[in-house]
Structure 1
Amino acid sequence: MSEFSKEAIDAITSNLDDIRRRLSLNTDGDSLESVDGEILVPLKELEEIRISGGTNILLYGVPGSGKSWTIEHEYCHQDSVVERLVFHPDYTNADFIGQILPVIDADKQLTYEFTPGPFTTIIRDAYKNPMREYILIIEELNRGNAPAIFGEVFQLLDRDDNGTSKYAIYNRDIADKVYDDEKHPIRIPSNLTIIATMNTSDQNVFTMDTAFQRRWQMKHIPNKFTGLKDDAKKHVDKLVPGSSISWGVFATTVNSKMGKASLGFAGTEDKSLGVYFATDKDLDRKDIFAEKVLKYLWDDAFKMGSSEVFKEHEKSLSYLIETFEEIEGDTLKAVLLDSVYQEMKEKMLAAEETEPIEKAESVEEE
């Protein structure tokens, strides 16, 4: 790295906010200029102070395993600038990158101009603020046609060791919005990280080819119900509404049936209930739990084999939900197979026996 000029050091240390503001102004040649032509910092030296380490990360796991929680607690920082969006089947490249739209100009005349989408906007902001970390979060990446949504900017996902795009693309509309120069090569700056999430159980979603996937750092989020602390442990220990069975015992028992049951293509461990599939609020009311959890198990996870967990007289989803909501006794006992419910009861008893030991060990460690 070359030494900074005295002019650059003075500008950076004494008036960083002014530099950030002026970065939005015209760039021409190798220098950044203000309106009156005052040279602030050479572009080369500006890039040397840019935060590095930007990358593309794809978190995947079963629904409710904690992907969004992981992003918030492990990747986002207090000073991070975060943009969040969700892909879906109707989401397009124009929505993501930008599109030509009609606008009314200052003279109240109808004209057409490029309106940037979230991808173009965050690249512009990251480029013009080199000392700040920017994060673009894309939820449900595979629920939209991701390769088509990215389009030509797919090429930018290849990063060098610094975190900048290895290869540039050329697009007059994007370049004009980001660099104020239609001919400027476009790259993802090193201070911009893209984090996406993907549920492994989603059906009727778009597949992603190997070329697209290899440009992401893949990270599996495990579905853990044990070894949890504080709020997470309280959550799994919370009782299913109207039952003496905890959410953690219910979910782990049902998940184990998915792995063993012969459910054809519809049965897979990827459809497991995640630790946060049901929230604390979901566990407060029978109707919400039934519509969210039991409906998912009936319609999706055990679609081809509901008799693996539910009683034979539960012939329809409507009857299942009505029984769960209206029963006076234990809700789960009323709808689950006796063998499944008994397995849950035994796990609850075993947990009660080990809890005093765990508490004693915790006290000794403190």
Structure 2
Amino acid sequence: MERIYSIDSFERLREILKANTATVKVLTEKISHLNLPANALSILFNLPVSANYNNTDGKKRVYDKIYNIPTVDAVYQGKLSSEWRDNTLSKKFSGNNLTALIKVINAYYSDFLEIVKKDDGYYMDIKNKFSKGSIPSTNVLLYGVPGCGKSYYVEQNYENKVNDILTIRVVFHPDYTYSDFVGQIMPVLEKVENKDGIEEEKLQYKFIPGPFTRILQLAETYKDQQCLLIIEELNRGNAPAIFGEIFQLLDRNDDGTSRYGIYNSDIAERVYGDKNKSIKLPPNLTIVATMNTSDQNVFTMDTAFQRRWQMKHIPNRFTGESLDEKTINHVAKHLPNSKISWGVFAQTVNKKMHTANLGFGGTDDKSLGVYFATDNDLDDAKRFAEKVLKYLWDDAFKLGRQALFSNCSEGLSSVIEAYEDAEGDPLKAVLVPEVYDEMQKRMAKLAAEQPQAAEEEPAEAAEDAVADNPAQEPTDEE
């Protein structure tokens, strides 16, 4: 019995495209704004017995090609065909079925499909409008202290160069599993026909793709476009276990393809439509992961796993010529009700953290990153205290609070209250004198350097002006 579907949402479109034979129609109430006859669309997406439709002028008006067409949440493979005759659909409709088809495409498929006119007729094609730039097809692992700007680096150097529809982001955590990452068999309610030909909902078990399978689907669909998988907090989950045999795919050739393939029937059927095909990373897929430095890892990563990534350290810079304007302004922002800037505060605290004996080895993972506190955190005393001071008390200086805080006897609540209620500079009220004095000295040094820099700039500008205008140079006679 012929299956008939209605395009009333992308969820229904997903079901349509998973079927190889279907007549697709649009519910009358859904197409009322298109001004089409109520019975017009039943022939537009019809699979004819034969794809060899010939009319008198010899032009092809048959769409009979396999495409991977994406929906909102994934990519599904389907086959749609239509005989695009130029006959009138009804006396009340000023157009033919090609006109109607174009209206349907514009209304429901415009993000993905378009009608293209060629010399021998009309064709349906997938739009190719995604190109933003190019990034290397490799596996990159960015690491650094919390708040040093890893995610910002990903955004600027990778995410902004790939279209949103071709990017998938996932965050690892202790309970994240291989099944979450790749996909798993799950029960779903589907409408199926009973023996009497009546549709009814029944529980079916189907493979639901995870982020890894979905990015492979996108890369297979848009082979001429770069696709991007972003994995945040790679080491907060058990990464080798989450990847499983997939880690073998991370060994890449120079063109970005996997050197070795693996077999997984569920992934292969979903991506290639062939459950027996070997799976490999394609040449248009980039994988970027971020992780904090090693001291606070939830899980460790073995050498075999790590060597398959290009490691890149993101430095925690508060000064230097490489800083962009956004970071410069953020670092110079003063703390709430204080004369001390965020950059001076963080650098002084980090230095104290590295030199004080806090009862643990490395301190890089506990350092304050340049973006550990946001601009909004620096505008509100309560937010700053609850986020930054609480972190320093509970974590970074947990085994040596007396090295930073002036009064440790009454607990964290007294520190936060003292900061929020201080009449003068709140930092002076909660930090040990030597740390606060160090911050003042740094601020004074910065203030002394600024006039000097301001004096050098006009002098350099004057020299440049003379070089550009030799006629203005003073003569020897003067």
TM-score grouping bracket, smaller chain normalisation: 0.7 to 0.9
Give matches, 1:254-333, under 5 Å.
Answer: 254-265=349-360, 268-313=363-408, 315-333=410-428
AA partner of residue 68 (structure 2): S
The TM-score, its normalising length taken from structure 1, stands at 0.84
Does residue 54 of the first structure (1) align with residue 131 of the second (2)?
no
| Residue of structure 1 equivalent to 2:178 | 93
Contact 1:66 1:221 in 2 (8 A): yes
- C-alpha RMSD of the superposition: 2.4
Q: CA deviation at 1:203?
A: 2.7
The TM-score, its normalising length taken from structure 2, stands at 0.65
Match of 1:224 among 308, 317, 321: 317
| Residue of structure 2 equivalent to 1:359 | 454
Once residues 55 and 249 of structure 1 are traced to their aligned partners in structure 2, the CA distance between those partners, rounded to angstroms, is 37
AA partner of residue 96 (structure 1): F
Contact 2:135 2:286 in 1 (8 A): no
Match of 1:105 among 190, 199, 203: 190
| Residue of structure 2 equivalent to 1:43 | none
AA partner of residue 270 (structure 1): D
Please give the secondary structure, in 1, of the residue aligned with 2:160: coil
Q: CA deviation at 1:22?
A: 4.3
Q: CA deviation at 1:335?
A: 0.4
Match of 1:178 among 257, 266, 271: 271
Structure 1 or 2: larger helix share? 1
Give matches, 1:182-193, under 5 Å.
Answer: 182-193=275-286
AA partner of residue 239 (structure 2): A
Q: CA deviation at 1:53?
A: 3.8
Moved more, 75-84 or 147-156: 75-84
AA partner of residue 208 (structure 1): M
AA partner of residue 63 (structure 1): P
Aligned length: 329
Once residues 289 and 362 of structure 1 are traced to their aligned partners in structure 2, the CA distance between those partners, rounded to angstroms, is 36
Q: Unaligned 5+ residue runs, structure 1?
A: 1-17, 26-32, 37-50
Partner deviation per Cα, 1:278-326 (whole Å, 9 max, x = no partner): 0100001111111111111111111110111111455411111111112
Give matches, 1:1-366, under 5 Å.
Answer: 22-24=66-68, 53-80=136-163, 81-107=166-192, 108-200=201-293, 203=296, 205-227=298-320, 228-265=323-360, 268-313=363-408, 315-362=410-457, 364=460
| Residue of structure 2 equivalent to 1:7 | none
Contact 2:402 2:408 in 1 (8 A): no
Once residues 313 and 271 of structure 1 are traced to their aligned partners in structure 2, the CA distance between those partners, rounded to angstroms, is 20
Partner deviation per Cα, 1:173-227 (whole Å, 9 max, x = no partner): 0000000000011011111111000011663601111111011000000010002
Q: Which runs of 4+ in 1 moved over 6 A?
A: 33-36
Q: CA deviation at 1:267?
A: 5.8
Residue 213 and residue 326 in structure 1: after superposition, are their counterparts in 2 closer, same or farther (change >3 A)?
A: same
Contact 1:120 1:174 in 2 (8 A): yes
Contact 1:60 1:221 in 2 (8 A): yes
Task: Answer with 1 or 2: which has the greater Rg.
Answer: 2
Please give the secondary structure, in 2, of the residue aligned with 1:162: coil
Contact 1:62 1:201 in 2 (8 A): no
Moved more, 310-319 or 234-243: 310-319
Please give the secondary structure, in 1, of the residue aligned with 2:68: coil
Contact 2:249 2:258 in 1 (8 A): yes
Once residues 170 and 439 of structure 2 are traced to their aligned partners in structure 1, the CA distance between those partners, rounded to angstroms, is 39
AA partner of residue 451 (structure 2): P
Once residues 239 and 441 of structure 2 are traced to their aligned partners in structure 1, the CA distance between those partners, rounded to angstroms, is 45
Once residues 140 and 162 of structure 2 are traced to their aligned partners in structure 1, the CA distance between those partners, rounded to angstroms, is 19
Partner deviation per Cα, 1:137-171 (whole Å, 9 max, x = no partner): 11000001111111111111111111011110011
Q: CA deviation at 1:74?
A: 1.5
Contact 2:256 2:282 in 1 (8 A): yes
Once residues 229 and 78 of structure 1 are traced to their aligned partners in structure 2, the CA distance between those partners, rounded to angstroms, is 19
Once residues 314 and 247 of structure 1 are traced to their aligned partners in structure 2, the CA distance between those partners, rounded to angstroms, is 27
Moved more, 228-237 or 90-99: 228-237
Please give the secondary structure, in 1, of the residue aligned with 2:318: coil
Once residues 272 and 191 of structure 1 are traced to their aligned partners in structure 2, the CA distance between those partners, rounded to angstroms, is 36
AA partner of residue 263 (structure 1): L
Please give the secondary structure, in 2, of the residue aligned with 1:83: strand
| Residue of structure 1 equivalent to 2:74 | none
Once residues 201 and 293 of structure 1 are traced to their aligned partners in structure 2, the CA distance between those partners, rounded to angstroms, is 21
Please give the secondary structure, in 2, of the residue aligned with 1:109: strand
Residue 103 and residue 233 in structure 1: after superposition, are their counterparts in 2 closer, same or farther (change >3 A)?
A: same
AA partner of residue 281 (structure 2): I
Calculate percent identity across the aligned residue pairs: 58
Please give the secondary structure, in 2, of the residue aligned with 1:168: coil
Once residues 332 and 150 of structure 2 are traced to their aligned partners in structure 1, the CA distance between those partners, rounded to angstroms, is 21
Q: CA deviation at 1:35?
A: 6.7
Once residues 135 and 350 of structure 2 are traced to their aligned partners in structure 1, the CA distance between those partners, rounded to angstroms, is 41
Once residues 76 and 269 of structure 1 are traced to their aligned partners in structure 2, the CA distance between those partners, rounded to angstroms, is 27
